[in-house]
Amino acid sequence: MTDLKERALAYHELPRPGKLSVESSKPCATQAELSLAYTPGVAEPVREIARDPENAYRYTNKGNLVAVVTDGTAILGLGNLGPLASKPVMEGKAVLFKRFANVDVFDIEVQAPSTEAFIETVVHIAPTFGGINLEDIGAPQCFEIEQALKARLDIPVFHDDQHGTAIVMCAGLLNALEVQGKKVDEIRLVCLGAGAAGLACMKLLIAMGGRKEHMTLVDSKGVIHTGRSDLNPYKQEFARDTPIRTLAEAMAGADVFIGVSGPDLVTQDMVRSMAPRPILFAMANPDPEILPAEAHAARDDVLMATGRSDYPNQVNNVLGFPYIFRGALDARAKAITQPMMIAAARALAALAKEPVPAEVLRAYGLERLGFGRDYILPKPFDPRLLERIPPAVAAAAGEA
């Protein structure tokens, strides 16, 4: 761990601090070029944009520029450490946008005294951007923020902790169900974690054929049931009329476990109590709800996924957000809709069933890889992601 800490700090500090820089996309080496880049030539696109705001997409980088915005209230698994501490994560998000989908990003860390102030700040800066990616914002405020911004802005607003997680999880789960011989409308499912990610995962899964009456959500106080008086409106939507109160009780006979909570919360006995051919998506980072070795030791028919890259079946948001925004920007979409999310999930799931290119095998030091229990999602460095996901998203945007 010390070695990782030292390498990570050196990576971020050297040879120059941070992970981002701004580079000019046009030459500016002569007097003539300077006169075009700035005064007097710059007046011409100014006039054109004033005449028709849509011309901003023609003469500026607005159409390929996304704001990654946070208040730092829910940084990874580290909690509320404030906006400044979140900047390395936001810069990292920008690197992924650029590396995987050639989308430019400004990271924006907002010190807002209230939810309303945060919303107003984003509304006021929105003209600069072609899209807004909300990141690392605590629940339930994140729901209010996203809803307000979607209503007030005419560019895509996307909370990746919610919808990015849901899209990749649903893609993986569709394939896991196929491998395990189960149907999405028949499974009994337990979701541990009822914050932004958990609730979004359940909503998208319902839109893709899952049944709410078969879903049991569990938070830090136990099963979310109709007898509880401490539920916010977002959790209340999933409250069940049930005598089940604990995670252990909920896991008995369940087909699927979805974890977006914390480490070591699922025991081997819980895994043993599940239905035949169970599916476990233990996605807490960096330490999952149960380690794959423990789950496989408890059952030899388990299909296991985590959020980590050092185990098979990583549920990684980088499979989603760069390509979803690429598709939305290419389509000049004014919002990222549920049909666009479903299109992304289905395209992602379909790609995992195709033969894996040799360059992907080399990147991961593998001799072979094929659809099955240890490969239900494409690898992040698969170049076909850029070919498949954005067109599917753009097509769904055009159908809206």
314-353 pLDDT, tens digit each: 999 999 999 999 999 999 999 999 999 999 999 999 999 9
Split at pLDDT 50, 70, 90, the class of 28 is very high
- Whole-number percent of the chain with pLDDT over 70: 100
Q: Average the pLDDT over 94-110 and give the result.
A: 97
Q: Could you check whether 11-160 and 161-400 share the same CATH topology?
A: yes
How many whole angstroms from its chain centre is CA 44?
39
Top pLDDT among 117 and 77 is at 117
**Domain spanning 11-160: CATH 3.40.50.12170:** no
Q: Is 93 a catalytic residue?
A: yes
Annotated active-site residue in 38, 59, 221, 364: 38
How many whole angstroms from its chain centre is CA 236?
23
Residue count of the chain, please give it: 400
How many whole angstroms from its chain centre is CA 288?
17
Annotated active-site residue in 62, 87, 93, 235: 93
| Distance of alpha carbon 191 from alpha carbon 257, whole angstroms | 6
pLDDT attached to residue 1: 57
Give me the residues paired with residue 213 across strands.
none
Tell me the domain boundaries of the chain: 11-160, 161-400
Q: What is the mean pLDDT of the chain?
A: 96
- Domain covering 161-400: architecture: 3-Layer(aba) Sandwich (3.40)
pLDDT attached to residue 343: 98
Is the distance from CB of 175 to CB of 192 less than 8 angstroms?
A: no
Q: Is 38 a catalytic residue?
A: yes
Res 258 pLDDT > 90: yes
Q: Average the pLDDT over 237-260 and give the result.
A: 97
Count Cα neighbours of 377 within 13 Å in the Cβ-side half-sphere: 31
pLDDT attached to residue 2: 75
Q: Tens of pLDDT along 199-245?
A: 999 999 999 999 999 999 999 999 999 999 999 999 999 999 999 99
